[in-house]
Amino acid sequence: MKYYCSIFFVALLLSACGQPQGEQASVPARSAQEAPAETADEFVARINEELTELRRETGAAGWVRSTYITEDTALLRSRARERYAAWHSDAVKQAMQYDNQVLTPETQRAIDLLKLGTSLPSPSAPDKRRELTQIATDMRGIYGAGKYCRSGGDCLGGAELETLMQTSRDYDELLDAWQGWRTIAPPMRDMYARYVELANEGARELGYADLGAMWRAKYDMSPDAFRAETTRLWEQVKPLYDALHCHVRAKLGEFYGEDKVPQDQPIPAHLLGNMWAQTWDTLYDIMEPYPAAADFDVDATLSRKNYSPQEMVRSAENFYVSLGMHRLPDTFWERSMFTKPADREVICHASAWGLDGGNDLRIKMCINQTYDELKVIYHELGHNYYQSAYKNQPALFRGSAHPGFHEAIGDTVTLSMTPGYLAEVGLINSAENSREADINRQMQMALRGIAVLPWAKLVDEWRWKVFSGEVTPDSYNQAWWDLREEYQGVTPPVGRSEADFDPGAKYHIPANVSYTRYFLARILQFQLQRSLCEIAGHEGELQACSLYGSKEAGERFWALLEEGESQPWQDTLEDFAGTREMDATAIIDYFAPLMDYLREQNAARVCGWQG
């Protein structure tokens, strides 16, 4: 299954999955020399007004670039990025005049967020700023238009190759597709090295050691403390991942032969049902614990009832409405992209858009008639409802409590797609269940939601090392695979060298989208779900809870969303759940039935892998 990143337009982010609100353009901030004598409060009010206007143009430029990939839209996109970079650089310089003043907490937070308000800080020199924005646009264009032409002459784009990786069980065909997609990335290698140099220069001008330190400062704690926090959370969930890895490797060894899948080594990366081995749920046919247990085949229902893409989106909307939230505006249905156009290149990567300050909500997807895609839709609408909830905040506070929250909202909602819910809304015929069926379902979920955890952590671990200089351009690929083996226990199926640039074959690298948010989202979704189920009065196992129809849970959920980025995430979490810490124990609670099963299955196996 594809793992989607979503554009949620966190305030001022330049490239959150590619089209954030924050790529501002058009209206220039006054220079520090020309600025009138204004108080810090007046400065923040002016900046908020400018941002409200600037986002309209940059949002439109981002949308058109993603839905019409041409040289013209590349130019428009690049110029919008460039204008925002100039605006942001000048606005930050103006903000520095208030550094030694005692400010109200709200004004201080707004200024702090302004300084952190780009994931791609540009150098102040105009020529370097233009160079950086052009590289950013070019790398995204290379990725979006990437194709692999096989020996027979047929050329496959990223979406087609991803589908092949999900459905094929032929070792050699998978290997060919895996290698083929990675041929798009080497042209980005030198571009990326220069990109890092320029972005680091921009980060240092803002007072950060490098771009990675700046990204980590986004989480209302020091960069070092945040890095330690992600390690703490990973250690909480690692035992469950290790047990899953051991079981999956054993099953793949049975399927392909232990000569191809050695039982004491990392798993060959092309055999895990995903182009990047980040999620493994398409291997469920091999991993199914109890084949005779009830099979909840939502795909069959979607096919039999011939659900259109719009009907699939309407199903997700109905869930949010059941919680007491509003219906999506008419413009959502008029302006969203639900299917891949036949006449042009687009970026099919699923994303949610909150244009015009959250008044113009859209999604961009190339929807297929599958349960996997239906879950992605439920997830993407979580972004849209979040964007709508905080749209009344000042512009600088229109974002999620921290970046992981934005991804967690839709992820939390997908946990309510239980057999009971699916039966109630007609997506399966019966909600009859058994412990075997529960374990089957948990296996499906773990192959996606637990398998992704180390991947979601290591992508930024690699970038943090690159940004800091610990990993240099002459060791990009080796460092990438060292981390993949350490965290994921996977290995490339063929030799790789520094002539390759395998990180660039993943969207989020050329698009400059931080990945830690997905790691934190996986943690938070279960933590939020546990709290919401308590509010809804659910009794019994956490994995059986659906929030569908609970106005009480919906009211508390909406209150969390409305806060946006107006206060530290610790305060928002405490208001919602009574704790100031992220906590992965809810994952362990949720997957307790599966963990018991994995312990039994792995009892006689040698788990782990040698480096």
**pLDDT tens digits for 318-353?**
999 999 999 999 999 999 999 999 999 998 989 999
Alpha carbon separation from 470 to 457, 466, 467, 477, 495 (Å, rounded) = 17, 6, 8, 13, 23
pLDDT of res. 56: 85
Average pLDDT over residues 274-300: 92
pLDDT above 90 for 12: no
pLDDT above 50 for 40: yes
Q: How far, in Å, CA of 488 to CA of 493, rounded?
A: 14
Q: Let me know: does 524 contact 404? Beta carbons within 8 Å.
A: yes
Closest alpha carbon to 356 in 595, 12, 60, 590: 60
Closest alpha carbon to 573 in 533, 539, 532: 532
Over the stretch 98-143, which tens digit does the pLDDT of each residue have?
Answer: 988 999 999 999 999 998 888 888 898 999 999 998 999 899 999 9
Over the stretch 184-211, which tens digit does the pLDDT of each residue have?
Answer: 999 999 999 999 999 999 999 888 999 9
pLDDT above 60 for 488: yes
pLDDT above 70 for 22: no
pLDDT above 70 for 26: no
Token readout for 341 is 């156009």
Token readout for 243 is 């047990």
Over the stretch 249-270, which tens digit does the pLDDT of each residue have?
Answer: 999 999 999 999 999 999 999 9
So which residues are the catalytic ones? Answer: 349-350, 379-380, 383, 407, 508, 518
Token readout for 603 is 């009892």
Q: How far, in Å, CA of 571 to CA of 401, rounded?
A: 9
Cα 193–220–129 angle (5° rounding)? Answer: 30
pLDDT of res. 54: 84
Most distant CA pair in the chain, distance: 75
Q: Let me know: does 355 contact 60? Beta carbons within 8 Å.
A: yes
pLDDT above 70 for 28: no
Q: How far, in Å, CA of 140 to CA of 143, rounded?
A: 5
Q: Count Cβ neighbours within 10 Å for each residue of 108-129 and write b for 16 or more, e otherwise.
A: ebbbbbbbbbbbbbbbbeeebb
pLDDT above 60 for 32: no
Q: How far, in Å, CA of 138 to CA of 141, rounded?
A: 5
pLDDT of res. 230: 96
Q: How far, in Å, CA of 423 to CA of 356, rounded?
A: 37
Average pLDDT over residues 402-422: 94
SS3 366: coil
Q: How far, in Å, CA of 589 to CA of 581, rounded?
A: 17
Average pLDDT over residues 354-375: 95
Q: How far, in Å, CA of 466 to CA of 76, rounded?
A: 29
Over the stretch 425-437, which tens digit does the pLDDT of each residue have?
Answer: 999 987 777 889 8
pLDDT of res. 25: 35
Closest alpha carbon to 462 in 501, 436, 491, 431: 501
Average pLDDT over residues 171-188: 96
Over the stretch 506-556, which tens digit does the pLDDT of each residue have?
Answer: 999 999 999 999 999 999 999 999 999 999 999 999 999 999 999 999 999
pLDDT of res. 147: 94
Cα 364–157–311 angle (5° rounding)? Answer: 35
Q: How far, in Å, CA of 484 to CA of 462, rounded?
A: 9
Average pLDDT over residues 200-229: 94
Average pLDDT over residues 58-66: 93
| Across 19-33, 187-201, 374-388, 508-522, least confident range | 19-33
Q: pTM here?
A: 0.83
More confidently predicted of 37 and 453: 453
Q: Let me know: does 383 contact 6? Beta carbons within 8 Å.
A: yes
pLDDT above 80 for 215: yes
Asked whether the CA dihedral 349, 2, 190, 499 is positive or negative, the reply is negative
Q: Let me know: does 278 contact 451? Beta carbons within 8 Å.
A: yes
| Residue whose pair of structure tokens reads 């074959």 in the numeric block | 505
**Rounded percentage of the chain residues whose pLDDT exceeds 70:** 93
Token readout for 595 is 């963990």
Round the average pLDDT of the chain to a whole number and report it.
Answer: 91
pLDDT of res. 611: 58
Beta strands 267-268; 351-355: pairing state: unpaired
| Residue whose pair of structure tokens reads 């965290």 in the numeric block | 487
Query: How deeply is 518 buried, as exposed, middle or buried, from its count of CB atoms within 10 A (0-12, 13-18, 19+)?
Result: buried
Closest alpha carbon to 323 in 411, 382, 369: 382
Average pLDDT over residues 297-316: 96
